[in-house]
């Protein structure tokens, strides 16, 4: 049984640009292959699909047209080791038309949503005593601040006067 699951993303003519962008943002990433519309179609020779890997995770994109667009109902979570990684992904994904969202969410210039979060969030939010103050701190943030979230969870966050 081959039970590999690969996210398949629908683009409107810019799948190759998107795949190249994502490969440039994530380490250990590469374009695997691409296909073109066959002769006889109205898009003959144009890119049809691109397969790529982001840090070893497979993706496929199709230039399907304008019928479907991305929304926040689907997002990809990037678990970051530290603030430096959060800053890197936040800057890269918001560049050139990307949009910041609340609580660590960002939409890239292609409209795809990402959650840029620090490692250990599940641990903090699974402890009721730590979850409430961490959640309250997170709700005030756009890009997540690891030190502030941990300080809030640990009860050491200093409030402004």
Q: Where are the beta strands (DSSP E) in the chain?
A: 8-11, 30-36, 47-54, 57-63, 75-80, 99-100, 105-107, 113-118
Residue 1 pLDDT greater than 90, yes or no:
no
SS3 124: helix
| 70-156 CATH pick, 3.80.10.10, 3.20.20.140, 2.40.50.140, 3.10.180.10 | 3.10.180.10
Please give the pLDDT value at position 59.
Answer: 98
Please give the pLDDT value at position 158.
Answer: 61
| Residues 6 or more apart in contact with residue 146 via CB below 8 angstroms | 82, 83, 86, 118
Q: Identify the band that residue 156 occupies on the pLDDT scale cut at 50, 70 and 90.
A: confident
CATH superfamily of 1-66: 2,3-Dihydroxybiphenyl 1,2-Dioxygenase, domain 1 (3.10.180.10)
């Amino acid at each position: 049984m081959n039970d590999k699951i690969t996210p398949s993303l629908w683009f409107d003519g810019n799948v190759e640009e998107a795949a190249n962008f994502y490969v440039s943002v994530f380490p250990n990433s590469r374009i695997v292959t691409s296909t073109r519309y066959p002769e006889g179609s109205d898009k003959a020779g144009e890119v049809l699909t691109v397969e790529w890997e982001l840090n070893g995770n497979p993706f496929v994109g199709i230039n399907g047209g304008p019928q479907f667009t991305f929304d926040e109902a689907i997002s990809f979570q990037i678990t970051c080791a530290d603030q430096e990684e959060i800053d890197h992904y936040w800057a890269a994904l918001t560049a050139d038309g990307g949009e910041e969202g609340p609580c660590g969410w960002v939409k890239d210039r292609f409209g795809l949503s990402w959650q840029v979060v620090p490692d250990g969030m599940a641990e903090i939010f699974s402890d009721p005593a730590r979850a409430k103050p961490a959640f309250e701190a997170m709700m005030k943030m756009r890009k997540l601040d690891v030190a502030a979230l941990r300080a809030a969870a640990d009860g050491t966050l200093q409030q402004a006067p």
